[in-house]
Chain A
Amino acid sequence: MIRILRQIFRTGIVTEQLPPALEEEIREVGAKLEEAIRQRFRRSLTIRQVDAGSCNGCELEIHAMNNPIYNCERFGMHFTASPRFADMLLVTGPVAWNMEIALRRTYDATPSPKLVVAVGDCGCNGGIFGESYASLGGIDRIIPVDAYVPGCPPSPTDLLNGILKAVR
């Protein structure tokens, strides 16, 4: 136990401020976000992540948003296990033909009003996989999308920024 405590104290708080380039934008978004989250989401934004066919690259970066460096929960957002509790779907793509029905069902199971953020180049437009018999392309081919976060994969900062934009 003493080792655990020692490690915790030695590590300290590693959570970072966002990069200066984004700082101003985030501040501006942040003010509006706080108001929006208070009014529309009762002070917390609950996100359900859906992999509709991604290569797992975007998932790694979404995981990284939860690590102590980015610590996305400080912005009032957290990930939930069920779409029933979600305010937002964070969808990575492209939409695989085999995932289309599951994606539609997940969308229908999410209570309105709901936001959808398409993540990654593939989520935005199908990316390298494009459109084929097995890949239906971007998320907006299947469900309405409110915001896009391009990148292969987008960095955790890009993701945070994209989510904040969607909420605004």
Chain B
Amino acid sequence: MLKEAIIAAFGGHVRFDGSQRPASVSACVVPRDRFGEAAKVMKKAYALLAAEWASDETSLGRGYGVFACYRWGSEYLIVKTEVPSGDPWFPSLCRSFVPAFRFERQIMSLMGIAAAGNPDVRPWIKFEDWPAEAWPLRKSFDAAQRMPRVTGEYIWTRAEGEGVYEIPVGPVHAGIIEPGHFRFQAVGEDVINLEERLGYVHKGIEKKFESLVWQDGAKLAGRVSGDTTVAHSLAYCMAMESMTGCQVPERAHWLRALFLERERIANHLGDIGAICNDAAFAFMLYQLSRLKEMLLRTNLRLFGHRFMMDRVVPGGVTVDIEPAGKREILAEMDMLAADFEKLVTIYDENPSLEDRVRDTGILKPARARELCAVGIVARASGLNLDCRIFNPFPPYDRHEWMELDVPVLISGDVHARAWVRIQEVRESIRIVRKMIEEMPDTGTHVPAGQPAPDSSGFSAVEGWRGEIIYWLQSGPAGEINRCMVRDPSSINWLGLELAVLGNIVPDFPLCNKSFNQSYSGHDL
């Protein structure tokens, strides 16, 4: 659909790039001045913007490449435009796609390519005390350097008028959470504006990838966001395997799916508990964190790590499961399901909890679509998106066998986001059982091989927060030239800003917890 749409609109002015892997993902190049027009065509074809990024291709004898990835159903289309290094700008996509404004701020800040027409030219992630000429993703930037701090000022959105006041929060928050800054403008108790400022945990991950050998990249990917370690390392590995043509054994795929679902269950249990805790119902937090701890301990016993870090590697997985381990997981799932259902009933029947979570922090379906939201947040706001259905790897591709039921709610409130998680826990328990019972007997690992020079790979994996995208590009010697990471948080953070509008300030923690986006995955 998308491919046809762009061919119809651009005719001979669009060139398709055969070096993009996997073959199911198309990549094309359009002239720079028509990059914005391509976005318009995509918008008309009902596509959503999945990611926008830039790559320094000077070592490949070109200038910069600016990329936009669009998604419609199960089709991904990457539209690229080439930007000469002496004249670094490209047309902004903001007019067609709202989330582009933040992607483009990031491209400007870290790669030094301006998005012409983007109304927000403030830096993002790059703080005001960075030297203006520091563009870390450029090849000419020395990653090992110590930057001097300069004086500068960040221009905040302001609100004025009688009774309007501001509440700055962070970066060091009251709880045990990651750092970020939130600035509320409020009248009385009502929030009239929320502005996020993230980037505090920027560790130079994307730059770091470029200094690693391919095999070690999976380890770093596993530490992009520690709570999503399986999904991130899996997405990295799948993108890399698509470049080398590596055929991962069937059993390895199934084990990866098993790890992914266990990660989903563990994090959802923690989140549901934490949402209830923020509505002053600590009982649920303690009950659910007990169940979560049980899962983590089983992970440690069976797979050697509580979060299964570094268990997914290029070419397969590092651990296998024995029949005794299978029995243990099945018994654990039985116990988990029984206890979980009791707790869901309590959640569902508690009026004081209902009072807090219903109609709080609403992200309307139309807004979620505008923001191109992904994952739990999207599914709680009426968008039927799930890579396990639309972009599956084995065993998810056996739809008739797995019958995966993806919950989609339309109320978009805190309750919807909690309920999507509850339904997903139920589904994950069911498919974990199914996968355990029918896991094929093959090997678990094959050599991954090395990507060819100047090629690129892509993957999209449904982590517990939502769709994670990796885009890898190899350099002239076949090394990592660029590793683009798009955590679901990069998009969904925008949803939180909208969802809290009109809510009272004390409900912010509840709204925030129901989104529970990653700071580290966003800041990279």
Interface residues of A (CB under 8 A from B): 3-4, 7-8, 11, 14, 49-64, 66-69, 79, 81-83, 94, 96-99, 102, 106, 127-135, 152-153, 155
Contact = CB atoms under 8 A, between A and B. Distances in A.
Given A68-B290, A96-B202, A99-B171, A133 B136 contact: yes
Minimum-distance CB pairs A-B, first 5 = A57-B226, A134-B204, A81-B174, A55-B226, A67-B289
Interface string B340-360: 001101100100000000000
B346 A3 contact: yes
B290 A134 contact: no
Given A56-B520, A99-B201, A134-B207, A11 B172 contact: no
Nearest to B126: A98
Nearest to A94: B203
Interface in B199-251: 199-205, 207-208, 219-220, 223-227, 229
B270 interface: yes
Contacts of B174: 81-82
Interface string B132-159: 0010100001111111000000000000
A64 B227 CA distance: 13
27 contacts: A3-B349, A7-B346, A8-B283, A50-B172, A51-B179, A53-B200, A53-B201, A54-B178, A56-B225, A56-B226, A56-B518, A59-B176, A59-B226, A60-B227, A60-B270, A61-B306, A64-B289, A67-B286, A68-B289, A98-B127, A99-B200, A102-B171, A128-B219, A129-B203, A132-B144, A133-B134, A153-B226
A14 to B, nearest CB: 6
B290 A14 contact: yes
Given A98-B127, A98-B199, 7 more contacts: A54-B178, A68-B290, A97-B202, A99-B200, A131-B144, A133-B141, A134-B202
B58 interface: no
A51 B287 CA distance: 26
B309 interface: yes
Nearest to A71: B286
B191 to A, nearest CB: 20
B136 A57 contact: no
Contacts of A99: 171, 179, 200-201
A60 B146 contact: no
Contacts of B176: 49, 59, 62-63, 66, 79
B307 A7 contact: no
B259 interface: no
A98 B201 contact: yes
A127 B219 CA distance: 12
A67 B141 CA distance: 44
A55 B145 contact: no
Contacts of B127: 98
Contacts of A69: 290, 293
A63 B523 CA distance: 22
A50 B147 CA distance: 23
B519 interface: yes
B296 A64 contact: yes
Contacts of A132: 143-144, 203-204, 207-208
A96 B519 contact: no
Interface in B301-332: 306-307, 309
B415 to A, nearest CB: 19
B175 interface: yes
Nearest to A16: B293
Nearest to A79: B176
Contacts of B223: 55, 57, 127-129, 152
Contacts of B225: 55-56
Nearest to A61: B306
Interface string B162-194: 000000000110111111000000000000000
A129 B346 contact: no
B174 to A, nearest CB: 4
A16 to B, nearest CB: 10
Contacts of A58: 226
Contacts of A155: 306
A122 to B, nearest CB: 8
Contacts of A67: 286, 289-290, 292-293
A27 B175 CA distance: 30
A129 B204 contact: yes
Given A56-B226, A59-B178, A59-B226, A11 B518 contact: no
A54 B518 CA distance: 11
A71 to B, nearest CB: 9
Contact of B200 (A63, A102, A131): A102
B481 to A, nearest CB: 18
A102 B207 CA distance: 24
Contacts of A82: 174
B342 A3 contact: yes
A79 to B, nearest CB: 6
B505 to A, nearest CB: 16
A69 B306 CA distance: 15
Interface in B470-519: 518-519
Contact of A134 (B136, B177, B349): B136
A47 to B, nearest CB: 10
Nearest to A134: B204
A106 B520 CA distance: 20
A67 B291 CA distance: 10
Given A57-B309, A67-B293, A102-B179, A7 B202 contact: no
Nearest to A105: B172
A67 B275 CA distance: 15
Contact of A3 (B142, B207, B345, B519): B345
A8 B207 CA distance: 49
